Amino acid sequence: MSAATKRAIFILVLSEFLVCLGVTLVIPVMPFLKNELHFSAADMGFMTALFALAQFVFSPLVGIVSDRIGRKPVLIIGLVLYSLSEVIFALTNQLWLLDVSRIIGGLSAAAYIPTAMAMAADITTTSQRAKVIGWISAAFSGGLILGPGIGGVLANISYKMPFWVASVLGLVALLVLLTLLPNENQFEHHVVNNKQAKETTNWREVLTKPVVLLFTLILVSAFGLAGFEGVYSIFVNEVFDFNMNDLAIVLILNGIISLILQVVFFERLVLWFSEIKLIRYCFAISALGVAWILVTHSKLAVVVATLIVFSAMDIIRPAITTYLTKFGESKQGLMNGLNMSLTSVGNVAGPIMAGILLDINYHYPYGIVLVFMCLSIGMTFFITKNSK
């Protein structure tokens, strides 16, 4: 791995951490914002949905653009939009402008996150890719762990302060990327600017049978995983009487385990099992964990089962991304954009489905999640067969 590649990977990891930290800084403020500005739950839900909708619509389009003009310009645009969205959110109290801010935020996520993954795939060999994607996933997890705590402290100063700090973090990431990220033709493993990448996208070449099956797996698994996460705090609070401290302990433990798995073990696990087998085994482990939660009456057992499920999920996501990079070498932007788009659909629909079922019966959501996980396990066998 050349010095330029190592420097680029470091910058991508650092930028991913700063952006994710900024995104999660504002999480503790949102309920307070709702009460302070007298918004309804529907207003807040619509605001969140706009972010996901923009991410869903623009991710594949931005992926095609990054395949043609290069990754660095799209990353720069994504960070500029991210900082702009946070500034708008900090400056205004009008609902329509807050909605506009979330749309811009969704567009920035569509521009930055899949493009960073695509660039990581562009500049690394297939043998290096698992390690790098594991690092980027760990940076994401690290921001997810630290952000809400820091955001809660900042909110004590002003409920708008987390948004200002998030914007500054975006500008710091932008400055680092502008000044230190090498131009793409400096990398020893460079495919994005070749003639094939600049040609009009041939969807028949891109959407081969293994890729279609893999995208279907992404959609089904995102639906199940988001369904599990979306109602988890409500489920354990109502059924097992978890309080805020219990939830905090579970999330902190999961964050620590996630970082260790993604930084230390992810590459080794890929080498030992291969991506698709690792995905299959992790779905099986997740399914067992969900089943355990459904039948147990012990609070400690729920904590252990939750950590098992979350840990398996933290492996599934980068494993799917790593496997996807092996298809369409010159179309990494499009591939990662579609990955992000389909994941967004699951992230929106999964919690909605789980929330509706939770109102009927506390055990229905996880029963359906268990079905989706079993479907995902079965699909991995078809993907393996067709990949060969």
52-81: pLDDT as tens digits: 788 888 888 888 888 888 888 999 999 999
Task: Determine the average pLDDT of the residues in 162-172.
Answer: 90
- Which pLDDT belongs to residue 302? 92
Q: Which amino acid, one-letter code, is at 156?
A: N
221-233 pLDDT tens trace: 888 877 887 778 7
Looking at the fold, whether 238 and 153 belong to one and the same domain comes out as no
- The string of pLDDT tens digits covering residues 250-297 is 877 887 888 888 888 888 898 898 888 999 999 999 999 999 999 998
Claim to verify: residue 135 and residue 254 sit in the same structural domain = no
One-letter amino acid of 20: C
Q: Angle, to 10 degrees, between the axis of helix 266-273 and the axis of helix 275-295?
A: 110
Q: What percent of the chain has pLDDT over 70?
A: 89
* End-to-end Cα spacing for the chain: 29
Q: Same domain, yes or no, for 179 and 327?
A: no
Neighbours of 375 (CB within 10 A): 16
Q: 294 and 168 in one domain? A: no
Model confidence band, residue 44 (pLDDT cutoffs 50, 70, 90):
confident
Indicate if 283 and 244 belong to the same structural domain: yes
Alpha helices in the chain, H assignment, sequence order: 3-25, 29-36, 41-69, 71-91, 95-122, 126-155, 161-180, 195-198, 203-206, 209-230, 232-240, 244-260, 266-273, 275-295, 299-324, 332-360, 364-387
Instruction: Say if residue 377 is in the same domain as residue 273.
Output: yes
**Domain stops at, among 170, 200, 230:** 200
Residue 167 phi/psi, 5-degree rounding, is -65, -40
- The predicted pLDDT at position 280 comes to 93
Of 4-18, 244-258, 325-339, 362-376, give the lowest mean pLDDT range.
325-339
Residues 196 and 210 in one domain: no
Domain range for 185: 3-200
How many domains, the chain?
Answer: 2
Same domain, 135 and 273: no
CA distance 313 to 310: 5
The reply to whether 214 and 195 lie within a common domain is no
- What's the length of the chain? 388
Give the orientation angle of helix 209-230 with respect to helix 332-360, to 10 degrees. 40
**Which pLDDT does position 41 carry in this prediction?**
66
Mean pLDDT of the chain: 82
Q: Report the CATH number that the domain containing residue 318 is assigned in CATH.
A: 1.20.1250.20
Residues 6+ apart with CB under 8 A from 299: 240, 241, 242, 246
| Closest C-alpha among 142, 176, 260 to residue 7 | 176
How many CB atoms sit inside 10 A of residue 297's CB? Answer: 8
Helix axes 126-155, 29-36, angle to 10 degrees: 40
Residue 91 has pLDDT above 70, yes or no: yes
- pLDDT tens across 313-324, in order? 888 888 888 888
Better-scored residue on pLDDT, 337 or 295: 295
Q: What is the pLDDT of residue 199?
A: 52
Average pLDDT over every residue of 190-204? 51
Give the C-alpha separation, 361 to 167, whole Å. 41
pLDDT score of 189 more than 80: no
Is residue 234 located within the same domain as residue 298? yes
| Best CA proximity match to 100, nearest among 31, 162, 53, 159 | 53
Do 312 and 182 share a structural domain?
no
Task: Please tell me whether residues 32 and 15 are part of one structural domain.
Answer: yes
**Res 1: pLDDT:** 66
Distance of CA 178 to the CA centre of its chain: 24
Q: Hey, what are 32's tokens?
A: 């307070």
Cβ neighbours of residue 19 closer than 8 Å, sequence gap 6 or more: 79, 82, 112, 143, 169, 170, 173
What band does 192 get if pLDDT is binned at 50, 70 and 90?
very low
Alpha carbon distance 14, 143 (integer Å): 10
